Amino acid sequence: MPQHGEVPYTLDLAKRLLRSLNCEAKWTEEEKNSIAKSGQVIRLTGRTDQFIIEPPNNIFPDDINPGGAWGFEQSYTYSECIRLTGRYLWKHAQKRNKDCFIFVMTSEGYTHRDLKFWSDVFWFISTKFIKQPNWTGHHFTQIWGNAPHSINYHYMKQHSKRYKLFEDMSIICTNLLETMTNSEWQGTRNEPEQRIALRKLNKRPSIKPYKFLFYNNHPKFNRVYLVGQIIRRNLHQYGLMSLNLGHDLGAGDPNIDVKDNQEAIDNIWYGAVERYLPGGDQHGLGQMHEYFPESGNDIFQALANNKELAQSLKPLGRLRSSEENENDVRDSFMNVLGDMYDHCSKCYFAIITETKFFHDRTNKTRPHLFEHVKNVGYECPITPDNNFLDGITYTEKTSKFILAKMPFILMAFPRSLEVLRQQGYKTFSPYINEAYDLIKNDEDRAIAIANEIERLCHLSDEDWLEMQEALIPILEHNFNLVTSDGIDQSLRFPIS
């Protein structure tokens, strides 16, 4: 029977779930033959016999989304959704004479919700229809947008055990650092003036009006913290820095006056800053104590004391369509040839806050952080990184600055720079102190990053002219590597 508070499993629920599935059964012939779908799978696996599944915007209807309510994971409704999805996929795969399945998630990182759901679907198909346990590793594959490195293999093994994921399948990690940026470069193949412009960007030393460029769209916990570090140290005057605290509410809609959304803007400010200060909510104070116990209060208090300044940090970038809703957001997604070109030409170095920064905490290891999930019968992540699990991931946040030939500081998971170097890229030591990359403690790593930003900001223009000259071979090497034909690193490994 459904648990208390759970949406009953109904025919309407089933119809909405099946409408949300995005798989080969629904594609036109043109879609099936596109590079974005079957072509990508064939390139990574060398096989044409898999039934391809791509993630929809949300596999669950909103009212049973386990990303927002962990309790549904072991519920009657969740189990029925698993069975319904498994039967639907098996039926349509059989129509195509296929019994191999591949789930393609190349956005970024290991996401717990998708790993859990599709692992459970694959387990159901394996036990219900295939019934050959020794062979199932050949039947099920997942593709993830993580760095193709043995470090991520070991993280995935840990996740499989901790979160009880289906073990008897293959995982492919593919690096979006190359694929996304290379696509941007290849898109200029018939635009010689654009290629010339990209090659000329930051090719020669020059005196620039700003020291750093720091893009922030979504005000995630670690990003707001680093903005607070910069403001508290009075470094904001040295850079171009953005922070979206509600500036884009109603963007693109002439019928909406942002002033009418003041309550929503106030709520965003509270959620990004004030909830972590004395008098804030229980969850916010718990997060502050857990992640930034030594420095957090001072940093977020500095933001609160400089509220007008912090709220003036409007988004930098062009408008693009959001995948989450029909509004527009501003963030210079890739678009190096647009407004970002101007920003990069005016700044000496970039600050990058990648998707994954904090180490995993779970309801079992830190039950005091979220009281409402401490008694859930299985382990689940509760970090502020949403549901991204431990792993090293590079996205457009990093790749666009390689294309722009800018040195950068990378606020990411530890050893991210090390893995970058092992994949053929060069980083910026000794000109930038990169010791922060090996610091495991999240707060200590964040403080070391802030210290290095401060040091770089206080270098003179003459110092920067010398540093630019020395960094040119490194930046050109990385640019040539990421724009070379055929670059597509991947790593396949079994989970067993």
Q: Mean per-residue pLDDT for 110-127? A: 89
Q: Mean per-residue pLDDT for 1-5? A: 36
Rank 54-58, 72-76, 144-148 by mean pLDDT and report only the highest.
144-148
Beta bridge partners of 143: 104, 172
**Does residue 43 have a pLDDT over 90?**
no
Q: Where are the domains of the chain?
A: 11-174, 182-487
DSSP string of 30-51, one letter each residue: HHHTSIIIIIHHHHHHS-S-EE
Question: For 434, phi and psi rounded to 5 degrees?
Answer: -105, 20
Written as six digits, the tokens of 36 are 């974005």
**Does residue 21 have a pLDDT over 90?**
no
| Cβ contact 143:112 at 8 Å | no
Written as six digits, the tokens of 89 are 């996929």
Largest CA distance in the chain: 72
**Does residue 378 have a pLDDT over 90?**
no
Written as six digits, the tokens of 14 are 């089933």
> What is the helix, strand, coil percentage profile of the chain, to 5?
50, 10, 40
Cα three-residue angle 414-433-174, rounded to 5 degrees:
35
**Amino acid 324: pLDDT:** 42
DSSP string of 209-248, one letter each residue: SEEEEE---S--HHHHHHHHHHHHTT-GGGEEE---SSTT
Q: Mean per-residue pLDDT for 43-56? A: 85
pLDDT in tens, 270-329: 999 999 999 988 888 888 999 999 999 999 999 999 999 998 888 786 544 444 434 444
What is the rounded radius of gyration, in angstroms, for the C-alpha atoms of the chain? 23
Residue 5: pLDDT band (50, 70, 90) is very low
Q: What angle do helix axes 176-186 and 396-403 make, rounded to 10 degrees?
A: 50
Written as six digits, the tokens of 251 are 């963007």
Q: Mean per-residue pLDDT for 74-86? A: 78
The DSSP element (H or E) to which 53 belongs, if any, is strand 50-54
Burial of 33 (0-12, 13-18, 19+ CB in 10 A): exposed
Which residues, 6 or more positions from 62, have their beta carbon under 8 angstroms from its beta carbon? none
Q: Nearest CA to 453 among 223, 208, 214, 216?
A: 214
**Amino acid 4: pLDDT:** 34
**Does residue 152 have a pLDDT over 50?**
yes
Q: Nearest CA to 45 among 223, 173, 194, 237?
A: 173
**Amino acid 317: pLDDT:** 62
DSSP string of 339-359, one letter each residue: HHHHHHHTEEEEEEE-S--SP
**Amino acid 488: pLDDT:** 73
Q: Nearest CA to 436 among 414, 418, 406?
A: 414
Rank 46-55, 197-206, 380-389, 452-461 by mean pLDDT and report only the highest.
452-461
Rank 233-242, 359-368, 375-384 by mean pLDDT and report only the highest.
233-242
Residue 468: pLDDT band (50, 70, 90) is very high
Which residues, 6 or more positions from 467, have their beta carbon under 8 angstroms from its beta carbon? 348, 431, 459
**Does residue 23 have a pLDDT over 70?**
yes
In the chain, the amino acid numbered 190 is: N
pLDDT in tens, 357-377: 999 988 888 877 666 555 666
Cα three-residue angle 452-208-403, rounded to 5 degrees:
75
Q: Nearest CA to 251 among 321, 160, 349?
A: 321
In the DSSP assignment, the letter for residue 67 is: T
